[in-house]
Structure 1
């Protein structure tokens, strides 16, 4: 089997679907240079073959959804289209069904200063929508299966993203980055998830790039306001230092209570920064997904 033939939403209705892991850490393990504001986008621009190799490593680990390298690209239509095309190539070469999710990173990602972990950029909703609209249009034109509105730090940006999507017929998931039971900007999570509860474009809501300990409370908050499938792809509990552009790992590994996440409604489960193919292979076993061909 090659690229997925049915909508991701239908697969989520049947059971769990396995996401990939962190693209940046995999590219670093391959010896790629991620310095500069473009981050993984730099490798996409200079060595797209390395990005495809990284995607392929996750496919071989059993990932059923590949998130593109467009998170920090900005509005460059050439790179945005390339990000989808490279992931698509890896998906088509897979021996199992694989969907492509086009990453729509937050405004803070292009600032390359860790702003996505704070939110509150000083922009109003119209300015945020104007930033996201051409990126979303370019990504949709490239034909992904779904948009990944990910690492969203506050409700202002979520509202802007949902406004851009409204009426397009596109499909997307909305994923916040959270801490201590709130968005990174400090808003209540039930309020944040409720924004997407009635949005027909949104097929799932949840969290990513957060401490694994923050996942379950966030999923419970989401389940209290929406019946949509939930998603979770945390990092390993490390904290990003924007000044040194390094991760500070936790003193002790943070457990991943995957069964509890599923019981709370999580159907789309994977990893974010610092989660590599071996971890995704372990998740495949935990989720009882079939082995990759």
Structure 2
């Protein structure tokens, strides 16, 4: 039985969901997210061998980020996700930047994405308003584990740092700065445990964030999130938050998505988003993707019609997916049954 997310359109929860549903309606019932950022940056010559990962390019080569964003928009993405997943004030400070410089770089990640959208709209004046063809910027917030750059976003094991107040203190200013930069959405990505989900919920309220957000969790067994916490419990936390407009899964093998969507549907009626990885597994020690399941772009996209029928409304790709993946998703979505 679905636990209704409440908000009859007048409360904050209603406003967050209503915004996402308006964008979905403008997109014909489905919205397409972009795909992997790091893969494409490397394809354009970026060296991401750094604890900052793709956020390194905010410093060194923002033009490459802008180019990748534009490639995804041209491939049909309705939502582009900023390069701030692994960008934190603390991470920039460890590189010798001041707190203010770190905040400016976070802001820049949003501005670069907005510039890519402006470039596309300038070349396509027939799509000059968001409600004709939604092109939205989602500010990415990765987990504490992403900042550690030790693979712990794939385990959710934070040791002594795993307290609610510590995680809130870690994320607070970053959330505020990204929200102040003016994105359309805030994307809390690759959430590995229910503690960090709860920290995000409390921060959204305490910081009075009015921008709709989404929560996306990751799973390695198709049942629980990577920490072993129940996905249903995690989705319930997200469902109860007035500021969350969509709930879903990212950075997870495609073969698990069907069951995970059905689990999420048990506890929320908010729009469901999914953007799995290519099917490979990340080895945190080797810092590389290994043991491909054989899921390539074509096989990945063969799942899309099933995910549509399951109830997914926002669909894209995560690690190791490309603009070609997004083009293929668009073609598949055009063949899907009408949105519910």
TM-score when normalising by structure 1: 0.93
Q: Which of 63, 77, 99 is the matching residue for 2:77?
A: 63
User: Counterpart in 2 of 1:260?
Assistant: 306
Q: 1:270 to 1:82 in 2, by over 3 A?
A: same
User: Counterpart in 1 of 2:13?
Assistant: none
1:109 aligns with 2:146: yes
For residues 197 and 119 of structure 1, the distance between their equivalents in structure 2, rounded to whole angstroms, comes to: 20
User: Counterpart in 2 of 1:285?
Assistant: 331
User: Counterpart in 1 of 2:321?
Assistant: 275
User: Counterpart in 1 of 2:184?
Assistant: 145
Q: What 5-or-longer segments of structure 2 have no aligned partner? A: 1-17, 90-101, 128-133, 336-340
1:177 aligns with 2:218: yes
For residues 207 and 195 of structure 1, the distance between their equivalents in structure 2, rounded to whole angstroms, comes to: 14
User: Counterpart in 1 of 2:95?
Assistant: none
Shift of 1:7: 4.2
For residues 51 and 168 of structure 1, the distance between their equivalents in structure 2, rounded to whole angstroms, comes to: 26
User: Counterpart in 1 of 2:165?
Assistant: 126
Shift of 1:171: 1.0
Within 5 Å, give how 1:230-241 maps onto structure 2: 230-241=272-283
Contact 1:62/1:281, CA 8 A, preserved across alignment: yes
Q: 1:12 to 1:198 in 2, by over 3 A?
A: farther
Within 5 Å, give how 1:22-171 maps onto structure 2: 22-75=36-89, 76-94=102-120, 95=124, 96=127, 97-122=134-159, 123-166=162-205, 167-171=208-212
Contact 2:280/2:293, CA 8 A, preserved across alignment: no
Shift of 1:200: 1.7
Shift of 1:170: 2.5
Q: Bigger radius of gyration, 1 or 2?
A: 2
For residues 53 and 84 of structure 1, the distance between their equivalents in structure 2, rounded to whole angstroms, comes to: 14
User: Counterpart in 2 of 1:3?
Assistant: none
Q: Which of 22, 42, 50 is the matching residue for 1:10?
A: 22
Deviations 1:132-183 (A, max 9, x none): 1111000001000000000000100000011101242221000001121101
Shift of 1:249: 4.3
For residues 43 and 168 of structure 1, the distance between their equivalents in structure 2, rounded to whole angstroms, comes to: 27
Shift of 1:188: 1.6
Aligned CA RMSD, in angstroms, stands at: 1.5
Query: How many residue pairs get matched?
Result: 284
Q: 131-140 or 248-257: which moved more?
A: 248-257
1:217 aligns with 2:259: yes
TM-score when normalising by structure 2: 0.81
Contact 1:8/1:145, CA 8 A, preserved across alignment: no
Shift of 1:192: 1.1
Q: 1:238 to 1:197 in 2, by over 3 A?
A: same
Greater fraction of residues in helix: 2
